[in-house]
Structure 1
Amino acid sequence: MIAPIHPEPNESLDGYLRRLAEAELWADVTDLLGGVGLQYGRRLIEDADEVERLLELPEGILNPLLPSAKASAARFNWRFERHHSAPVCPECISTGRPHHQAWRHAFVTSCVEHELVLIDSCPMCLEQLRPGAGGYGSCSCGCPLDRLVHKKAADWELAISAVIGGQMHPARATLPPSLAFRNPSDIGSFLHFLGGSQSPAITGKPGKLPFPKTVKEAQSFLADAQHLLCNWPMGFQHEVSARLAAGDQTASSAPARLGKWYHSLMQFTDKAYLDFRAVLEDVVAREFDGAYTGGAVGTETERDWVSAAEAARLIGISAERIVDAVSKDLIDGQIFSSGFGHRHTTVRRAVIDQVLTDRARFIDKTSAREQLGISRKQFDLLVRSKFVSEALPAERPPLVDGLFDRVALTQIVAGIARQSSPVVAKSIAFRELNLRFTTDLKGLNEVLRLIANGELRPDLDSTGGKLAEFRFDREEVERVLKEMRRGPGYTVQEVAALTGWKAQCISRWCLQGLLEHEEFDHAGAVGRVVRADALARFQETYVPVSVLARQAGTSPRHLIRMLTQQGIEPVGAFQDGKAWRGHLVALAPLASFAIAHASSDASHYARHDL
C-alpha cells in the first residue's frame, strides 16, 4: 500500500474496507481480505491489530470504526450489529458518500440525511447485500448500485434512525420530549423491548423474538413499537391502560398487575426514558383500582405510612415478619405504643415498594428455571457445577425468600450471548446438555465451564431468546467430552490414522513400555491415549521395520536379517498366530552403522586412489 486511506467521519468498518479495496483496485472486498487470509466477521473485529498489520495500515486506524459489546454510542453496539445484510442509501452510493456506521444497526431503516429507506438487496441477482462482500458501490455479483430505487422514509423511521445514529432531524419532534434531544446508548435494547412487547413470539413462548435480519424485517418489527414512541403520549397511555386491564386482576399492586413488562421498563434508567415513567405514573394513578400502586405513583398520591398488617398483605408475607424486620432495623419503620401496652408497627410505602422490587428480583428455583427455559434436573446440574449460584445471605435484602438473583442470571445469559459467533456445523441446544446426552458428569461440567467463560460460543442466530435455546457447535462439545474422558492426546486409533501404523502394533508397543501413554476407562475396558510429545519422542527413537523396508525397496524379513548380521537387533516384536509383527529399529544404532559404513567406504576409495 502506497498511502493509507483514512476513515471518513461516521464511516462503518464494512464501508471503509470496501473503499480500501477499491483504492487497491480490487472489485470485491472479499478479494482484499482473502488475499491476506481474512474474512469479515467477529474474529476480524476482535483481532483488529493483526488486521492492520496484514493490510499494512497505520496502527490504531481501525479502532474508531469497531463495534463493541459495551459501546458508548448505540450505533456501535455489537449486540445489534447486522450480520445478514449490508444496506445502503441509494443517494449516498450514487454520490460517492461513505457507508454510515448507523446502517450497521439492526433497527436503522433509513438514511437520515437523504430521508430515504435503505436498500439491502441487489436488483439484478435479487440476493441480500452482505457485509464483507461486494464493492464500495456494487454487489458481489458485479451489479452497480448507483441507480437504486429512491423510496421516501416515514417520519417514524427517520426519528428512530436519527436517535440510533446520534443525528438530529425534525422528525425527532414526534418523540417523547425526554428522548427528542438525547441519544441513549441502550436505545437498541429499549426498541427491542417495545417491539417484543407488541409482537407475538415465533414459537408461542415469551422471549423468543430474534433481531430482524433485513431492513424489511426491521420495518415490520418496529411498526407497532413506533406507535408507542411517535404517537406521544396517547400511544403509550393506551399501552399502559391495556396492560392494567389485561393483567392479573387479583394482584394488589400495580407492579404485580403489570408483571414482567413493568420490571423490564424499570430497567431503563437513562434520563431519555423519564417521560415513559411519568406517563406510567399518571395512568396508574388514574386507572389502577388495587390497594397499592407500588412505585408507579409518587408518594404524594397516597398516605405515606401503612400498618404492618396492611404491608404484609400487600407484600404477601406474615405481619410478624414485618414487625420483626422493623424491630431489628432491617427495614425502615416505626414502633409506637397506645392504650394499655398495645404496640403498633408502621412502614413507609416506599419501603413496601422496595421490598416488592427486591422480591421480584430474588426468585425461587422454579422462576429461575423458567427464566432460563431449562428443566429441573438441568438446573440442579447448573447449580452443582457452579454455573449458577445461590445469592449469599449477605447479598439478599430483607424479607426476600428467593435464593437466585434474577439480574445475575440475566447478566450470565447476556455475557454468553455477547460471545456468539456463526456456527455452520451441526449444533446442539443448551437444553440438551444434560445427563441424557452424556453420562460423563465431569466432562459435562467442563462443557458448562467453557460456555460460562466464553470459550465455547453460541451460534449468533440462536441468542435472541432464553439460554435453553442457545445452540453450540456439537463437534466442539463432543471434543471437550472426549478430552475429559481420556485427557489430551491421541487414542491408539488416532495414532494409527495419523501414522499409517497398525493399531494392534501400537497397543503392543504401549504394553512393552516403548511408547509412553496414559490409560483411561473406556466402556468397562482400558483405553490408551498418547500425548503429542510422547509420540514425537517415539518417532525420534524408533522406526518400524515395515516402513524402513518399504522405503529401501526390500522385504521386512530380508531387512531384519541384514540388520541382525550387522548386530542391530529389532525390538517391539510380538507373535500374532504364526507370524511376528511390530518390529522396530532403534534409530541410534542404525545411524551409527550408517556413519561407520560411510567412513569405511571413504577409506577404501582413498586407498584405491593412491
Structure 2
Amino acid sequence: MTLIHTFPPQPDESGRGYYRRLSSANALSSWKDLARCCGERLSFDALLAHPDHVSRSLGLEPDWCQKATVQDDLARTWRGLRRHGRDAVCVQCLRESVHLRMAWEHAYLVACPAHGVLLHDTCTACSTPLRFEREHIGFCECGFDLCASPSEPATPAQLWVSSLLATGDATVEGCGPEMERTATDVAAGLINMLCRQPDPAVEARRRNASAPSGVHELVAFLRPLEDLLANWPFNFQSHVSERLRLGPPVRRTLNGRLGTWYRQLRKLSDHEASHPFIRAVGLVAQAEFDGVLGLDATAEVINKEATSVLLMEAAKRIGVTYDSLLNHRSKGSLDCRPIKSGTNGLVYQVAVTEVEAIIEARRLWATDEVACTMLGVPPAVLGHLCDAGAVVREVRWKEDLRKGGPIELASLQRFTERLRSSTSPEQTSSKRIKLRELSARHVGDKKALTCALQAIATGALCAVKAEGFVGDYEYLWNDVAKHYARPLLDQGLTVQALSEATGYKHESISSWVSQGLLKSFDVLLRGQLCRVVTPTQFNEFRRQFVPLSDLARELGTKSSALAQKLGSIQIVGSQVLPGGERRGGLVRMADLARVAVQDQRADDANP
C-alpha cells in the first residue's frame, strides 16, 4: 500500500502520535489500518518494532520511521508512568500544530510548560475520555473540536512538575528549587517520593499502589507539592521539622527518625536533582536533630552546607588520618562535640569553621618534597639551608595539627625574594657553582657550609646568574670558597704551612697578606678563621716581588746591610717592629729589572 499523504514526524511528536496522524491524513479509520497494510499484528508495538519494514510497506522515508521508534523507545523507559487508553492534550498547542507531543504521554504531566495551562484528557462537550482509537487527533469522537475547549491556568507547582518532566529544567519563581538537566526517571522518582506520604503521621502507601490515570486524579495526587514547593525552601524545611518531631525519639539516625520518606529520598542522592531537598533536610537536622548526621549515602551532600561535620569527614577535608584527629582530640588540641551513637557509643563532631581554620593554617607549611620542588634543590641542600637559618623548619611539626609540614612557606618566600634582590650579574669566565650543588662534599665542615649559606641568604654573597629556580642560581667559586676549608687546603697552604715550606717568617707573610701584596683566602678551619694561599696566588706574588732576605742570602750579606746599598730601589712590605726595626722587606722585580738595564747601558757607554 502507498499512502497519498506522507510527511516526517515533528521534532517533539510521539511515535504513536505520528502513525495516528498519518492514518488521519490518509482518511483511514484508525492506526490499525496502517498495521494491516504492513501485514503485522494490530498493535503499536508491531509498527514501532520494525521501522525498516514499515517504511518499505508504506512508502515512507526510513529516517521518519526510525525517528518515531526512537521517540517511542524513550517513552517506554517511563515504565508504569506512561498514559494508556486516553490522550492528554494542551488545546493551545493543538491550535498551533495538530500533533501529539511526546511529553504528554507521561502520566505525571498535568500542565503545558509553554502555555501555563492544564492539559485536557476528557471532552468538554461530552465529558468522555479522549480515547486513543478516535479517528482525528484534534476532535473528540462526538465531533467536538478540541481547539475550542477553554483553558484552565496551572498552578506554580504543576508548572514546576511539568517543566521538569518535559524539558528536564524547572525554573518557577517562588516555587521549588531551580533544576537543570534532570533525567525523566529521576524527576518522576522525586515527585513520587514527595507526594506518596504527605502527612508525616500517616504511613506511606505501597509503591505498587495504583497510579493516577486521569488528569484530575493526578492533580489531586500532586496537591501536596502546592505547599511543599511554595516559598522554597522554608515550607519544605518546616515539613522536615515536623517529621523530625513526630519520628521515633529513640532513633539516633535520620534513617530511623524520618523513616521510609527519607530512605526514598536517600536512594536518589546520586542524582543532582535530589540535592536541594537533601541539603534542606541537612540544614534542619543540624539545628533540631540530636542524633548523628553524615553516616549514610547523603553525607557528601549534607556536609557541603553543614555547620559541623563528623570527625571522619573532618579528617578527609584536612588531609590527615582519622586516628590522628582522635589523638589530637584526646590531647585537647581539637575542640569536638560528642554525640551519642547507638546505645552506648559516641561519635564526635567538629565545627566547619574550625576545620577551615585548620586547613588554612596548614597551607602555610609545606613538606620537604614540596619545599625542594619550589627551590629546585636536593633534600641535602634544603637541610643545610635549614641549619643555616635561611629556611625555617619545625622539627616537631607533627604534634601541631595546624602545621601541614615541617617547612614554613613564608620563610621560603623570604629566602627567594632576598636572593632575587641580591643578584649582581658579572660577565666573567671564572669558575661558578650552583646553589643546589653546595653539599657536604664541597666543604671542610658544616660550620663552613653554614657560613657560606648565611652569606648567600643575607645578600653578602650575590649570585652572578639568577635564572630558573633558586637552586639554579650561580655564584663565583672564588667567593664561595672563602667560606670553605678543605678544597682550598687541598690546593694551597695556610700561612703557617707556607712559612715552614719557604722559610719566611710567619709575621712577614701575615704582613704581606694584610698589605694586599700576597693574595689569600679567608676560610674557617675547625671553627677558626684561617688564611690559605694557593699556588697560583703565591706564583703571582713571586712574579712581582722578591724577598730582601733571598737577595741578601745570594750576595752573602744581611738584609739590613743590603737595604743600605740598594740606592734608588724601593723596599716595600716591611713590618715595623716596636723597636723601630724593619723585617720582611720586598723588592719589586720591575725595579730590579730597571736597574739592571740601566747598568748595562752604562757599561756599553764606557767600554
TM range (shorter): 0.3 to 0.5
> What TM-score results when the alignment is normalised by the length of structure 1?
0.45
Higher relative contact order (CA 8 A, sep 6+): 1
